[in-house]
Amino acid sequence: NLWLPDVFGYSAALPQIMRKAGCDTFVTQKISWSQFNRFPHTTFRWRGLDGSEVLTHFPPEDTYNSRLTPQTFAAAEKNFAERGFMDGYLSLFGIGDGGGGPTDEHIEFGLRQRNLEGAPRVSFGPAARYLDRLSRQRDELPVWSGELYLELHRGTLTTQARVKRGNRLLENRLRQVEWLWSALPLARYPQAALDRLWKKLLVNQFHDILPGSSIAKVYEEAERDYRDGLAECDRLIEKAGRALFKRKADSVTLVNALSCEWRRPVELPADWGDAGAVTDQGEAVPVQMENGRAVAAPTVPAHGAVTLHRRGRARKARREQGLVLENSLIRFEFSTDGVLERAFDKEAQREVLAAGQQGNVLSLYEDRPNNWDAWDIDFFYENQRLATARAVKAERLPGGPVRQGLRFRLSVGQSEIEQEIFLAAAGKLLEFRTRVQWRERHRMLRVAFPVAVRTDTFSADIQYGYATRPTHRNTSWEQAKFEVTAHRYADLSDRDYGVALLNDCKYGYKVHDNVLDLNLLRATTQPDPDADQGEHEFVYALLPHVGDLIRSSVMAEAACLNVPALRFEGLAASESAAPPCRIEGRGVSLEVVKKAEKEDALVLRLVETDGRGSVCRLFAEPGGTLTETDLMEWTDRRQRKIKGDGISLALAPFEIRTFKLRRAREE
């Protein structure tokens, strides 16, 4: 069983993860804290976004600190929603918050109620004894489908922003390290180092660290852990690069561990500014200079690498006029305050913003929740906007064949904001690279884009899929979701057109009617009196697109924004540096490639991302074997021989599948 009494809501991806890790039952208590609506079930079947189900129990005392008194048991009996056909429930007794456990008094109360007339009978024992009984009544239990949303603690999606950024960066970097070392012989794999780094990352995902609800000392240590972890990852990446690639002057190799092409601007050595770049195949790659840095935008294939060589001539930057960013696909017009006044999609021949509305409006709100300062945001903040950002300086950056840019220096409240806004020569992604000197108390900074798309639902990125949520507030359940989580993107689409708001380290979104709104920073004072004070860096991006989410490039663009290509200066790719494996096919992502925990094999984790049946083809070194296993790598199933034309794999909507790959050279 999975035992998580005190976590602030649960993703719809979790039931499948639990089942494939060997957990059939789930216990939590926290959902009973919801602010507006009482959850209707105590014991039920929780169904995830892929259809997987787990038997779930909410102890009806509504606490993880039960005193085991007759009064609390009597109240719990009345609160037990399934009492008409179930004969018992769990009690989470003792001093739970802080790890204390039961006292002598708790035990004595329980013993005296083993058979006390007028009170529920108490029986001590392991939780599994009770949970194993639930399967007998599975067919009688109600079903709850989708996420378990906690109508409370919404501020934890934003508080302590540097820790959230460190967590996102380190998660992504560790996956890249695993991918890179998987291309080398497994005997060289740095398993001990990666085990240590992953465990440190997971410790800092504790429910009062990552959410931002701990004391100041915790964040001093967590930020140090992220710095040290990223530095160690970089050392491992550099070491793997020296083993995989050959030395070659005036060369830069880019490695893409994603399942989609990576085609974003990348910085090159500064002395490349007086030259250009070509690939091994002789294809010219434009290079432009920006404030003393050379920038190019090559295409790096999925699960692959490309080497650039310094050759030819760079394009001279040109100084455009006006606060306009435009290419053949789209045109963006700005005011001196950095506000997006107009966005016209040339491809679709339509306006992106709602009529008479402006985008990139940076607003400062009063942020004083009724309780739980670092934890909560209350809905009335929407009526307490204090100011919007105002211009200090606006200027156009030198442009060229790679991208165009604007720079805005802004002020809001006591804080300063600098934004560099870029539009690449090809594509519609409008990128806002943002630095903030944050000097507020009990204030919240948000950015909003009212778009010309109206639909009843939007799609929010979650681990291994996306959740569909309402954009309206018809019922109290929908009204309660005024702040929700999304990882890398939130997308608002109808059948023909959509707009997505992407980010590289934020989690708190509001999507109401046609407005995409992202929570950027908070300034709480309890339990950390100086939470989030100081300097912050983050990126968000606006992506208009033709078609709905599935027919667009939103998922690929969001992945590329979050996982930059690895860069190796002075090294060139060679034939011996082949990727450990690759896949072809829409709708499937190769999320994990790493060494197995207890044997000499690679573990591959594939995920269906579109929410429909998808087929891919997996390619690896011929002569090896592919064996399906579970998430724990414990139970092996069908084994297949790898041939030159790869192996076809069919995945159900949002399905996670895990395989062991044994290469012929290591069998």
**Residues labelled catalytic:** 6
Amino acid letter, residue 232: E
Main-chain dihedrals φ then ψ at residue 107, nearest 5 degrees: -65, -40
Rounded Cα gap, residues 47 and 537, in angstroms:
38
Give the total residue count for the chain: 667
Provide the CA 491 distance to its chain's centre, in angstroms. 14
Rounded Cα gap, residues 520 and 528, in angstroms:
18
Amino acid letter, residue 78: K
Handedness of CA 638, 641, 645, 646 (dihedral sign): positive
Summarize the chain as % helix, strand, coil (round to 5): 20, 35, 45
Handedness of CA 497, 499, 502, 507 (dihedral sign): negative
Are the C-beta atoms of 46 and 56 separated by less than 8 Å? yes
Q: Which two tokens stand for residue 133?
A: 């009984």
CA dihedral 449, 451, 455, 458 (to 10 degrees): -40
Q: Which two tokens stand for residue 370?
A: 């009724």
Rounded Cα gap, residues 554 and 443, in angstroms:
31
Q: Which two tokens stand for residue 451?
A: 């778009």
Rounded Cα gap, residues 396 and 405, in angstroms:
6
Main-chain dihedrals φ then ψ at residue 592, nearest 5 degrees: -140, 135
Provide the CA 193 distance to its chain's centre, in angstroms. 24
Q: Which residue, 542, 156, 226, is CA-closest to 374?
A: 156
505 secondary structure, DSSP code: S
Q: CB 627: neighbour CB atoms within 10 A?
A: 15
Beta sheet of 656-662, edge-to-edge order: 588-595, 602-608, 656-662, 625-629, 639-641
Rounded Cα gap, residues 661 and 630, in angstroms:
13
In the three-class reduction of DSSP (H, G, I as helix; E, B as strand; rest coil), residue 443 is classed as strand
